[in-house]
Amino acid sequence: MDRDKDHKDFRDPVDAIIEQWAAVRPDLDTAAMEVFGRVYRLSREMGDRMDKAYARFGISRGEFDVLATLRRSGEPYTLSPRQLSATLMLTTGGMTGRLDKLERAGLLRRSPDPHDRRGLQVTLTEEGLRLIDEAVGAGLAVQTEALKTLNTQEAGQLADLLRKLLAGTVSSGPSS
């Protein structure tokens, strides 16, 4: 299959938007809009696909993130709520709701922190470990399928370019 040939004539909604701007404001340089319009649309589309993949396991994307963060921490798959909040960039209030739901489902447990009498620790249960391992596989399958339009070299180049763009965006902060 010639990937370039198959997608060369494909037009997406961003193309129409760019053409409309060119018609009414030919003075605008819309190159950034072409990139970020597609990044935004891709993010939404993939977010929807990931939501569906995780829903099969009875969890949301946010709940997946909590379980995946615990799983990536390595044995004994335990972190404090504060560590989870910092990693996931959530308020402690937002984290509490997720932890409550996941604990009720038997996917994690909260217990006193043996090193800090005021603190708690959050640990994956065996069921949580089983579920997150399956959900990670399902999520990766969705992402891998979406990347089939690119060859290995193109996927690597895209990852590098997105990393570069993200680094420049994060370091420059919000514009005034």
Q: Tell me if 175 is assigned to some domain.
A: no
Confidence of residue 119 (pLDDT cuts 50, 70, 90): confident
Q: Tell me if 167 is assigned to some domain.
A: no
Q: Tell me if 98 is assigned to some domain.
A: yes
Q: What is the CATH number of the domain that holds 66?
A: 1.10.10.10
In which order are the strands placed within the sheet that holds 78-79?
A: 78-79, 116-124, 108-113
Q: Tell me if 102 is assigned to some domain.
A: yes
Range 109-121 average pLDDT: 90
> What is the tens place of the pLDDT at every residue in 2-41?
555 566 678 889 999 999 999 999 999 999 999 999 999 9
pLDDT at 6: 61
Q: Tell me if 67 is assigned to some domain.
A: yes
> What is the tens place of the pLDDT at every residue in 55-107?
999 999 999 999 999 999 999 999 999 999 999 988 888 889 999 999 999 99
Looking at the structure of the chain, the number of domains it has is: 1
Confidence of residue 172 (pLDDT cuts 50, 70, 90): low
Beta bridge partners of 112: 120
Q: Tell me if 112 is assigned to some domain.
A: yes
> What is the tens place of the pLDDT at every residue in 150-168?
999 999 999 999 999 999 8
pLDDT at 116 exceeding the cut of 90: no
Q: Tell me if 82 is assigned to some domain.
A: yes
DSSP secondary structure, 34-49, as one string: HHHHHHHHHHHHHHHH
Looking up tokens 């709701």 gives: 97
Range of the domain at 86: 61-132
pLDDT at 136: 98
Pair 78, 121: CB distance under 8 Å: yes
Q: Tell me if 24 is assigned to some domain.
A: no
DSSP secondary structure, 128-159, as one string: HHHHHHHHHHHHHHHHHHHGGGS-HHHHHHHH
